[in-house]
Amino acid sequence: MTALEPGSFLAELTPLERDDLEARGRVRSFERGETLFTEGEQPGWVAVLLKGRVKAFSYREQGGEALLAVRGPGALLGEVAAIDGLPRSATVAALEPAQALAVTAEEFMAFLQAHGRVSILIMRMLCQRWRDADRKRVEFGMFDATGRVAQRLVELAERFGVPYERRGGGEDAGQSVRITLNLSQEELAGWVGASREAVSKALRTLRRHGWIETGRRRVIVHDLAALRRHAR
């Protein structure tokens, strides 16, 4: 299993809780682009991501995807539908080869009944997601496409960034950050609620300032502090 995201569901479990949960499920593997859950289907199981990253999204009526979230190792997926018994509210697909612990909805509920502390942990996690969703709704009204792209790049750099040394060295070498999550411009557009053309223009603006460098499914942030200031 790869390193868990700090604060993720699996990272917050005690060794005893983790062992019990693992005993109730089985590990499944998914290729890039493969679907874990489909919006509207009945909840048969929940997933705990062990390796790789996934995206949660809904299809827009006018076409395309509205990207709702990106989750990394340790994330709990599909728990809301398992708890309330209603159809799934989003589709979840692998952004890269992934592994997940698959636990049936019945076993997951039994796990929660056996470990009351975990139920409180999930409530806190859901509250954090709701607050994040509220914050993003405010962003749509306050910021233009460039500001929203900057905000998502800051989030990606903080969650999925690794140090990157610029070619040729120099005093700024090692201060850049390479975002290891490969999102397409279409996926980024679905995340910020803008057209692909608007996202392409926003990236050009950020490149012109020298804050980022982009390539095919590659983003390097050269000035994260400036990007943060613009995102605010």
50 and 14 together in one domain: yes
d(CA 188, CA 151): 11
Handedness of CA 47, 49, 54, 55 (dihedral sign): positive
The predicted pLDDT at position 15 comes to 96
In this prediction the pTM is 0.82
135 and 150 together in one domain: no
Residue 152, domain CATH: 1.10.10.10
Residue 82, domain CATH: 2.60.120.10
Strands 98-104 and 161-164, sheet pairing:
unpaired
Record the tokens describing residue 223, joined without a space: 């000035």
3-state secondary structure of 218: strand
Record the tokens describing residue 152, joined without a space: 């998502």
1: in domain: no
Residue 195 CB coordination number (10 Å): 13
Last residue of a domain, one of 85, 109, 139: 139
Residue 41 CB coordination number (10 Å): 12
The predicted pLDDT at position 170 comes to 47
Record the tokens describing residue 96, joined without a space: 């890269």
pLDDT tens, position by position, for the chain (232 residues)? Answer: 578 888 899 999 999 999 999 999 999 999 999 999 999 999 899 999 999 999 999 988 777 788 999 999 999 999 999 999 999 999 999 999 999 999 999 999 999 999 999 999 999 999 998 888 887 777 777 788 999 999 999 999 998 899 987 665 444 444 799 998 888 889 999 898 888 999 999 999 999 999 999 987 789 999 999 999 988 7
User: Domain limits at 51?
Assistant: 9-139
Nearest Cα residue to 36 out of 61, 9, 55: 55
The predicted pLDDT at position 41 comes to 94
4: in domain: no
Last residue of a domain, one of 139, 173, 196: 139
